[in-house]
């Protein structure tokens, strides 16, 4: 009888899934890595790691981290052999004359397509093998980094061991000699069981470590004609050509379109980023004392030519992202709403730009061990600067000075921010996809103004400089309610604070805001100063303390900018007073030790406006005069009064919650079906008038307004912006107007006994008011209250207006 075969194979091997499934499920596949000990480096088992996979997704789906972890526990020597074999194969392929293989012809028929698969078993594809080597290392190395200790014994033995050169025969070893020898300061030796470099005499030559050779190979691959660069620029048989990828910083010549190689660039950069990410596996206590050997080697041991070429290539690719976005799909299709839902495939260009940003930031942000900046000016405010010996990438970014280079960086960052604003301000929700690398763009902008003072000066001299500031504040407002973005919010607050310290920034504040892509919900009109004040107010008032650690940077930015405030609108003046009133709230003042500093910064801002531009700011002057009671009460503030006020607010909140709960139950009883409601009404006909009135009054009683976490969050409360005080302490309950000092003194003398005896029952415990273990004391209150000068501000303003 006819028997169906158990395994049906695809004709001519057109479907490659069978071998992949076998690798995943059969004992000769990934399982053998942990089940069989001491697999030889020459075993054919390792070939499948190079030729089997067709894409990065194949590697990540067929090799799981659990497989590598299991092998590290049961057969760690196999993982070491895998790393050595894959890197050796990678070095050999790069130097092979058949690499890179020519790209396939885009115009192919079905016959050519089928013949390609038929020849797959007999012909090699060096480009595919190189990519597979890179992808396997991307998958294996992060698991190796998880091992305990800063630089584990396994990692030191495999990646950082240096073999002594004993003769010419060593050149045929698995670890071939590199293109150039890079001396390294790492003298850590492997365990006693293996040959140690420390045992060898210092005058003997050694092979570079495997990690050093890997970095050299990856940098060569970044500039390999036919793999990451256009093949037409290759000269003779020299396929490694150190040419900057795109026109821009450091290059005025465009090497030609290379979008076909964007995927290859991304794969190489991803492996470099994996190596640079070794730092995140170190304990926090050792981040600055035990630097990552990988990053340290790249920023200190890489030749100058390689550093400049890599730096300019990454920077130009990132800055030219706006120009290349519309040409990926087409000028028309790229502007169609919801086009990202139609074209769901990955955008190779966007992936490459994002990877360039990440690698660039990892290099520019590295300051650990000997890579920390040098002290240039040992003053009260010390000045640090990078050098070639500390971090070459930071050094060359700090040395940029050509206006043409600054213009490229400025326009690139501004273009990315404008794209994000267009996405936010779109009428159709979700019509455009958010820029995937907007956080990296913001961080790069922060690094540029931090490292290069000349770029900071150039930035603030430009006509569109305040456009960037407005875009940054708008993006801050968009992400402030997302906890996963609070780290980026902190960076934004530091950027605003840094820019506000510049004189040129203050001069730009009087110019009207003109960005055409500002979201309508955040566009308040007026000058740039008005937009900045309103943005900071909304950040502080609508986050309920979630961004408490970022308030000082934002308020310092207001204090730095206050001497340049002119013609503030009524709305802006109101927002400033609302911020001050919120910070003067006793519950906020007594919560943490650093909160009174915010009051000092706000008072400095008011004093600066009064001193420099009093005639030009009548709205702010009027707002301060109307709120003089807040300043006067702050001048006589003490701990006992603050604790009583905190207790009173707590009682009011409890009563409000009880009333809301009672009203909720009443509404639930009234929400009945029509026939139930009719029956209830018939039963109530015999009720007394007083009972009916009581029910009606309960049903119709308006709910109390919710307690505002920020006492001055509405404009109508600014006119009487007074801290809430308990009855019978400082002001009589029957009077809604401030009393004179003479009357106030009499009232205190008459009620002193009640304050000292019964008042303690109305005060909150100091330990319950403070946060994070802070307990406010009267001595602490006196230390900052006497020097704040809040009460004298309104008096000075009144005298100035009389003159």
Percent of the chain with pLDDT over 70: 72
Q: Model confidence at 227, in pLDDT bands (50, 70, 90)?
A: very high
578, pLDDT greater than 50 = yes
Cα→Cα distances 550→238, 493, 553, 580, Å: 53, 7, 6, 16
Q: Model confidence at 373, in pLDDT bands (50, 70, 90)?
A: very high
757 vs 337, more confident: 337
Cα→Cα distances 489→406, 442, 484, 532, 558, Å: 25, 10, 10, 15, 17
Residue 350 in contact with residue 344, Cβ under 8 Å? no
Cα→Cα distances 797→57, 445, 573, 636, 738, Å: 69, 40, 15, 19, 19
Confidence at residue 115, expressed as pLDDT on a 0 to 100 scale:
45
Give residue-wise pLDDT tens across range 520-535. Answer: 888 888 899 999 999 9
The domain segmentation of the chain, as residue ranges, is 463-559, 575-659+708-803
Q: Model confidence at 648, in pLDDT bands (50, 70, 90)?
A: confident
- Token pair 């960086």: residue: 409
d(CA 136, CA 214): 14
d(CA 538, CA 575): 9
Residue 632 in contact with residue 583, Cβ under 8 Å? no
Give residue-wise pLDDT tens across range 228-287. Answer: 999 999 888 889 999 999 999 998 888 887 888 999 999 999 999 999 999 898 888 878
Confidence at residue 466, expressed as pLDDT on a 0 to 100 scale:
94
Average pLDDT estimate for 160-179: 57
Confidence at residue 802, expressed as pLDDT on a 0 to 100 scale:
59
Q: Model confidence at 705, in pLDDT bands (50, 70, 90)?
A: very low
Confidence at residue 206, expressed as pLDDT on a 0 to 100 scale:
87
Residue 206 in contact with residue 189, Cβ under 8 Å? no
Cis check for the bond before 100: say yes or no (omega within 30 of 0).
yes
- Phi then psi dihedrals of residue 377, to 5 deg: -120, 100
Which residue, 596, 586, 614, 432, is CA-closest to 517? Answer: 432
Confidence at residue 344, expressed as pLDDT on a 0 to 100 scale:
57
d(CA 784, CA 787): 6
d(CA 423, CA 328): 18
- Sign, CA torsion 404/405/406/407: positive
Residue 275 in contact with residue 211, Cβ under 8 Å? yes
* Mean pLDDT lowest among 106-115, 156-165, 365-374, 729-738: 729-738
- Sign, CA torsion 317/453/487/509: negative
Confidence at residue 336, expressed as pLDDT on a 0 to 100 scale:
57
Confidence at residue 728, expressed as pLDDT on a 0 to 100 scale:
34
* Mean pLDDT lowest among 29-43, 87-101, 514-528, 605-619: 514-528
Q: Model confidence at 427, in pLDDT bands (50, 70, 90)?
A: low
pTM: 0.80
* Mean pLDDT lowest among 20-29, 86-95, 251-260: 251-260
Average pLDDT estimate for 30-34: 94
Give residue-wise pLDDT tens across range 729-741. Answer: 333 333 333 444 4
The most confident of 545-559, 623-637, 672-686, by mean pLDDT? 545-559
E strand or H helix that includes residue 377: strand 374-377
Which residue, 348, 369, 236, is CA-closest to 290? Answer: 369
488 vs 332, more confident: 488
Q: Model confidence at 642, in pLDDT bands (50, 70, 90)?
A: confident
Average pLDDT estimate for 747-766: 46
């Amino acid at each position: 009888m006819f028997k169906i075969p158990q395994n049906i194979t695809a004709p001519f091997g057109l479907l490659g899934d069978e071998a992949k499934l076998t690798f995943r499920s059969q004992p000769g596949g990934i399982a053998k890595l942990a089940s069989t000990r001491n697999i030889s480096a020459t075993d054919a088992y390792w070939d499948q790691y190079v030729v089997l996979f067709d894409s990065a997704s194949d590697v990540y789906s067929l090799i799981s981290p659990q497989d590598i972890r299991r092998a590290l526990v049961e057969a760690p020597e196999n993982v070491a052999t895998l790393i050595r074999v894959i890197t050796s194969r990678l070095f050999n392929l790069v130097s092979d004359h058949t690499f890179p293989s020519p790209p396939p012809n885009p115009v192919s028929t079905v016959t050519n397509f089928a013949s390609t698969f038929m020849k797959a078993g007999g012909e090699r594809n060096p480009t595919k093998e190189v990519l597979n080597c890179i992808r396997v290392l991307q998958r294996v190395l992060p698991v190796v980094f998880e091992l305990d200790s800063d630089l584990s014994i396994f990692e030191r033995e495999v990646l950082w061991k240096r073999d002594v050169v004993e003769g010419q025969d060593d050149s045929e070893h698995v670890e071939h000699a590199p293109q150039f020898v890079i001396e390294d300061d790492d003298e850590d030796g492997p365990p006693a069981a293996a040959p140690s470099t420390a045992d060898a005499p210092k005058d003997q030559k050694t092979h570079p470590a495997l990690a050093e050779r890997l970095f050299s190979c990856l940098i060569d691959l970044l500039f390999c004609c036919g793999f990451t660069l256009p093949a037409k620029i290759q000269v003779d048989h020299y396929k490694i050509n150190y040419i900057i990828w795109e026109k821009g910083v450091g290059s005025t010549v465009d090497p030609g379109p290379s979008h076909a190689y964007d995927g290859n660039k991304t794969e190489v950069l991803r492996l470099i980023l994996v190596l640079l990410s070794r730092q995140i596996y170190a304990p926090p206590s050792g981040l600055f004392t035990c630097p990552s050997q990988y990053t340290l080697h790249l920023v200190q041991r890489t030749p100058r030519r390689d550093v400049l070429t890599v730096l300019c290539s990454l920077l130009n690719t990132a800055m030219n992202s706006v120009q290349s976005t519309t040409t990926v799909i087409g000028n028309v299709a790229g502007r169609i709403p919801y086009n990202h839902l139609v074209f769901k495939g990955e955008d190779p260009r966007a992936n490459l730009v994002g990877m360039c940003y990440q690698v660039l930031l990892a290099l520019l942000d590295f300051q650990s061990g000997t890579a920390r900046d040098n002290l240039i000016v040992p003053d009260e405010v010390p000045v640090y600067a990078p050098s070639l010996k500390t971090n070459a990438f930071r050094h060359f970014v700090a040395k940029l000075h050509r206006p043409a280079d600054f213009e490229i960086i400025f326009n690139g960052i501004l273009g990315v921010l404008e794209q994000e604003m267009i996405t936010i301000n779109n009428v159709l929700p979700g019509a455009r996809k958010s820029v995937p690398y907007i956080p990296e763009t913001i961080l790069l902008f922060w690094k540029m103004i931090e490292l290069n003072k000349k770029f900071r000066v150039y930035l603030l001299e430009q006509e569109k400089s305040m456009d960037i500031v407005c875009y940054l504040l708008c993006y801050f407002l968009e992400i402030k309610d997302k906890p996963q973005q609070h780290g980026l919010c902190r960076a934004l607050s530091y950027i605003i604070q840094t820019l506000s310290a510049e004189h040129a920034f203050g001069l730009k504040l009087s110019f009207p805001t003109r960005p055409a892509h500002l979201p309508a919900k955040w566009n308040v009109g007026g000058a740039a100063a008005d937009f900045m004040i309103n943005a900071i107010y909304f950040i502080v008032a609508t986050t309920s303390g979630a961004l408490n650690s970022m308030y000082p940077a934002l308020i310092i930015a207001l204090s730095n900018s206050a001497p340049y405030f002119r013609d503030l609108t009524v709305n802006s003046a109101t927002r400033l007073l609302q911020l001050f009133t919120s910070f003067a709230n006793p519950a906020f003042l007594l919560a943490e030790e650093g909160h009174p500093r915010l009051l000092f910064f706000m008072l400095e801002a008011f004093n600066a406006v009064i001193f420099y531009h009093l005639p030009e700011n009548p709205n702010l002057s009027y707002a301060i005069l109307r709120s003089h009671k807040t300043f006067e009460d702050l001048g006589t503030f003490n701990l006992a009064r603050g604790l009583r006020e905190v207790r009173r607010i707590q009682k009011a909140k409890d009563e409000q919650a009880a009333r809301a709960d009672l009203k909720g139950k009443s509404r639930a009883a009234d929400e009945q079906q029509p026939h139930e409601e009719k029956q209830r009404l018939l039963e109530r006909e015999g009720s007394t008038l007083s009972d009916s009135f009581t029910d009606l009054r309960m049903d119709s009683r308006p709910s109390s307004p919710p307690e505002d976490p920020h006492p001055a969050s509405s404009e109508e409360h600014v006119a009487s912006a007074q801290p809430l005080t308990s009855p019978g302490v400082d002001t009589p309950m029957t009077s809604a107007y401030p009393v004179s000092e003479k009357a106030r003194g009499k009232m205190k003398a008459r009620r002193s006994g009640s304050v000292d005896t019964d008042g303690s029952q109305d005060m909150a415990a100091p330990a319950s008011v403070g946060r994070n273990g802070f307990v406010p004391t009267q001595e602490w209150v006196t230390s900052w209250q006497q020097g704040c000068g809040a009460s004298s501000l309104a008096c000075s303003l009144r005298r100035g207006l009389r003159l």
